[in-house]
Structure 1
Amino acid sequence: MTAAGNGVEPGLYDIPAELYHQDPIPGGSLSSTGIRRLADTPARFKHFLDHPEPYKPAFEFGTAAHTVILGDGPELIVVDEDLWNTKETKAKVAAIRAAGNVPLKREAKQRIDDMAEALARHSEAADIFQPGAGVAEQSAFWPDPRGVWRRVRFDWLSDGIADYKTTPSVHPDALQKTVEKWGYHVQDAFYRETAIELGLIPADGFFKFVFQEKQPPYLVQVVELDFPARAIGAEITDRAIHTYLHCMATGEWPAYGDTTTYLSLPAWAERKYIEENS
Structure 2
Amino acid sequence: MTAVAAEATAPALGLHTDLSNEAYHADKTSLSSSGARKLLPPSCPAKFRWEQDNPQPDSKTFDYGNAAHKLVLGNGPDLEVVPGPRWDTSKAKGHIAEIRERGGIPLKQHELDMVKAMAAAIRQHPLAAALLDPAYGAPEQSGFWIDGPTGIRRRVRFDWLPSVQSGRLIIPDYKTTTDASNDAMQKDIDKYGYNQQADWYEEGARSLGLGDESAELLLIAQEKKAPYLVNVIGIEFGSRVIAGAKNRRAIETFAECTRTGHWPGYADDEPNYLALPGYAENRDKELYL
Q: TM-score, normalised by structure 2?
A: 0.87
Q: Which moved more, 1:100-109 or 1:268-277?
A: 268-277
The correspondence of residues 1-278 of structure 1 with structure 2, limited to 5 A, is 8-13=11-16, 14-23=18-27, 28-40=29-41, 41-145=44-148, 146-158=150-162, 159-258=169-268, 259-271=270-282
What percentage of residue pairs aligned between the two structures are identical? 42
Quote the offset at 1:7 in angstroms.
Answer: 5.9
Give me the whole-angstrom Cα distance separating, in 2, the residues matched to 1:153 and 1:30: 11
Give me the whole-angstrom Cα distance separating, in 1, the residues matched to 2:282 and 2:161: 45
Quote the offset at 1:8 in angstroms.
Answer: 4.4
Give me the whole-angstrom Cα distance separating, in 2, the residues matched to 1:111 and 1:195: 33
Name the amino acid aligned to 2:203.
E
Give me the whole-angstrom Cα distance separating, in 2, the residues matched to 1:10 and 1:113: 36
Structure 1 residues 180 and 141, CA, compared in 2 at 3 Å: closer, same or farther?
same
Quote the offset at 1:12 in angstroms.
Answer: 1.2
Give me the whole-angstrom Cα distance separating, in 2, the residues matched to 1:46 and 1:72: 29
Q: SS of the residue aligned with 1:210?
A: strand
Q: SS of the residue aligned with 1:48?
A: helix
Q: How many residues align?
A: 272
Q: SS of the residue aligned with 1:147?
A: coil
**Mapped contact 2:138–2:160 kept (Cα < 8 A):** yes
* 1:176-210 deviation per Cα after TM superposition (whole angstroms, max 9, x unaligned): 11111111111111111011111122331221000
* 1:85-104 deviation per Cα after TM superposition (whole angstroms, max 9, x unaligned): 11111111111111111111
Give me the whole-angstrom Cα distance separating, in 2, the residues matched to 1:242 and 1:263: 25
Give me the whole-angstrom Cα distance separating, in 1, the residues matched to 2:275 and 2:8: 53
Q: TM-score, normalised by structure 1?
A: 0.90
Name the amino acid aligned to 1:190.
W
Structure 1 residues 19 and 57, CA, compared in 2 at 3 Å: closer, same or farther?
farther
**Mapped contact 2:10–2:29 kept (Cα < 8 A):** no
Please provide the CA RMSD for this pair.
2.2
Give me the whole-angstrom Cα distance separating, in 2, the residues matched to 1:106 and 1:276: 56
Q: SS of the residue aligned with 1:37?
A: helix
Give me the whole-angstrom Cα distance separating, in 2, the residues matched to 1:250 and 1:29: 16
- Unaligned runs of at least 5 residues, structure 1: none
Quote the offset at 1:119 in angstroms.
Answer: 1.9
Give me the whole-angstrom Cα distance separating, in 2, the residues matched to 1:135 and 1:226: 26
Give me the whole-angstrom Cα distance separating, in 2, the residues matched to 1:136 and 1:57: 23
Quote the offset at 1:248 in angstroms.
Answer: 1.9
Quote the offset at 1:6 in angstroms.
Answer: 7.0
Q: SS of the residue aligned with 2:204?
A: helix
Structure 1 residues 56 and 5, CA, compared in 2 at 3 Å: closer, same or farther?
closer
Give me the whole-angstrom Cα distance separating, in 2, the residues matched to 1:276 and 1:136: 57
Structure 1 residues 137 and 7, CA, compared in 2 at 3 Å: closer, same or farther?
closer
Q: SS of the residue aligned with 1:108?
A: helix
- Unaligned runs of at least 5 residues, structure 2: 1-6, 163-168
* 1:22-46 deviation per Cα after TM superposition (whole angstroms, max 9, x unaligned): 11xxx71101111011123111112
**Mapped contact 2:82–2:109 kept (Cα < 8 A):** yes
Give me the whole-angstrom Cα distance separating, in 1, the residues matched to 2:220 and 2:52: 29
